[in-house]
Structure 1
Amino acid sequence: MSAPSKVIPEDAFNREETVQNYIKSRPRAMMDMPVRLIIERLRELGKIDQRSGCLLDVGCGSGESTRLLAKDFHHTIGVDPSAAMISYAIAFDNDTAGVEFKVANAEKLPIEDSSVDVITAMFVLHYTDLAKFIPECKRVLKPGGIALFYRQQISKILSAEDDALPVIDGPVKMMIRQLLEKAREMSHPSFHTYELHGTQFDAISWEKKNIKINELEFAPDALWTLGSWSRFYHNLPFHQKVRKSGVNPLSELVQAVKNTWTMQDRDSDDIKIRVVYTTAMIHLK
């Protein structure tokens, strides 16, 4: 097994406590929305007219999204550098056939040459060394195969209680800028390409590529409170690493929301919010 990618903090998702907190706090919509968009795109491209072919899900994490995608493929492989995540994925109670999980990173895929029809990667690209990952994608894809990379970024926070309250967007951008600045200091030099509309997609060398950008809001049944939303991001290893430096942009954002809505005295778990994300999907063929 190859060494973990330098872009990811060495123990990022390998602590059992981190894995359990991440899975517990992650909203269902965080998995369902990307999978839905990817399946829609695959249908448009004629890749899942029938249940056949092989799909490789890179950075599969705990495997829930991988299993959702697997329903449309004969064989599905999920890979992730975290042994803890893969252990959870293997133990997860699901009867989806034709799914296997492996501990591996994106830069050295344990996959045979020209054996995969579709590669998916969700919330992963900014963790990879693109100079090594993209050639690996080209190596394992069959002729005519495609890769779909998905990512999203917080765009706006709105009140789920009163539509007349201001939209929060400026503080969101402030939080992201602060996270990125710390990432440059503490992580891999290329981590700055986490920005959704940055240079990362442009830097990918591929014969044909197409980028689709949308702005989407979580469905009504996935509403968050300000407290539950912030806890999810607090549990992300990257944010934990940034907080160790003494910077906590997420807490600043929570306070900015309360100040803007004149809710300083309310508990964050009592403030219902709607979150809008800007999503980007790159299709390579």
Structure 2
Amino acid sequence: MESTYLNCLALFGVGGAHPGGLNLTRRMLSKEKMDASTKVLDVGCGTGQTSALISKQYQCQVTALDYNKMMLEKAKKRFQSMNLQIETQYGTAENLPFKNGSFDLLLSESVTAFTDISKTIPEYKRVLKPNGVLLAIEMMRETDISEKQMKEILDFYGVRQLLSEQEWLAHFEKVGFEKIEVEKVELHPDIQKMDVSNDYSLSKDIDPSFYKIFEKHHHLSILYKDILGCRIFRCSL
């Protein structure tokens, strides 16, 4: 297996890899109106931490999608162990395997930046119902940076671009989201303090090179703390 950041997350089965972790997810969801009739799509569900939370706390009809088969298997095991009726679906954000207008709420937690945004965001809009809501937690660029800095960030995380807040907004507006709310997430990187809300589903016999990837992630988060930012985008139709 190639030594990449995303493969590292899959092998360790990190449950709350997105900025802010599960605590941010709980706060974000607490502002939404959800019940047993609400159909939710968790794009890039990972090991299913957020999908499980939504299903258990709000009794929503949850579909969990990921393109990483290892992550999806770990999500299935989580749901089975918790006796949760959550549909799992293999697929990509750029080509969602669902009909138009299928969901009331779509959640993307630090996922969209890793995709072809020009294809992914139109897909989000397509599968949402009229008056549907997109909640996206996304990495972004706070300031202008050098080509060398940009290359190091893109190469390590495997993202195609590092957008500014205005560039993100332009993508959401282009596909027709009419109301867009933005919240800045304050990040406090500290190599000594892992997010306690993270949970792990470890694979067997993890190569030592993947531990080095975790170390570099923490190094970059500190080195580029004034450059790498995060926003919650709430986009509605």
Per the normalisation by structure 1, the TM-score is 0.59
Q: How do residues 236-275 of structure 1 correspond to structure 2 at under 5 angstroms?
A: 250-251=218-219
| 1:69 aligned onto 2:69 | no
Q: SS of the counterpart of 1:41?
A: coil
Q: Distance in 2 between matches of 1:217 and 1:123?
A: 14
TM-fit CA distance, 1:141:
1.5
Q: Distance in 1 between matches of 2:83 and 2:141?
A: 32
- Which residue, 63, 66, 71 being the options, matches 1:80? 66
Matched pairs, number: 214
- Which residue, 191, 194, 198 being the options, matches 1:226? 191
Q: Distance in 1 between matches of 2:112 and 2:118?
A: 12
Alignment correspondent of 2:183: 213
Q: SS of the counterpart of 1:89?
A: helix
Preserved CA contact (<8 Å) 2:41 2:63: yes
1:103/1:215 Cα in 2 relative to 1: closer, same or farther (>3 Å)?
A: closer
Q: Distance in 2 between matches of 1:85 and 1:153?
A: 24
Structure with more relative contact order (C-alpha pairs < 8 Å, separation 6 or more): 2
Q: SS of the counterpart of 1:91?
A: helix
Q: SS of the counterpart of 1:23?
A: coil
Per the normalisation by structure 2, the TM-score is 0.69
* Consecutive unaligned residues in structure 1, runs of 5 or more: 1-8, 156-172, 219-223, 233-239, 258-276
1:185/1:23 Cα in 2 relative to 1: closer, same or farther (>3 Å)?
A: closer
Q: Distance in 2 between matches of 1:176 and 1:87?
A: 39
| 1:132 aligned onto 2:119 | yes
CA RMSD of aligned residues (A): 4.3
Preserved CA contact (<8 Å) 2:39 2:61: yes
Q: SS of the counterpart of 1:57?
A: strand
Q: SS of the counterpart of 2:162?
A: helix
1:209/1:181 Cα in 2 relative to 1: closer, same or farther (>3 Å)?
A: farther
| 1:21 aligned onto 2:12 | yes
| 1:56 aligned onto 2:31 | no
Alignment correspondent of 1:265: none
Q: How do residues 125-164 of structure 1 correspond to structure 2 at under 5 angstroms?
A: 125-151=112-138
Preserved CA contact (<8 Å) 1:31 1:65: no
Q: Distance in 1 between matches of 2:186 and 2:53?
A: 20
Preserved CA contact (<8 Å) 1:213 1:281: yes
Preserved CA contact (<8 Å) 2:41 2:62: yes
* Consecutive unaligned residues in structure 2, runs of 5 or more: 199-208
Q: Which moved more, 1:180-189 or 1:75-84?
A: 180-189
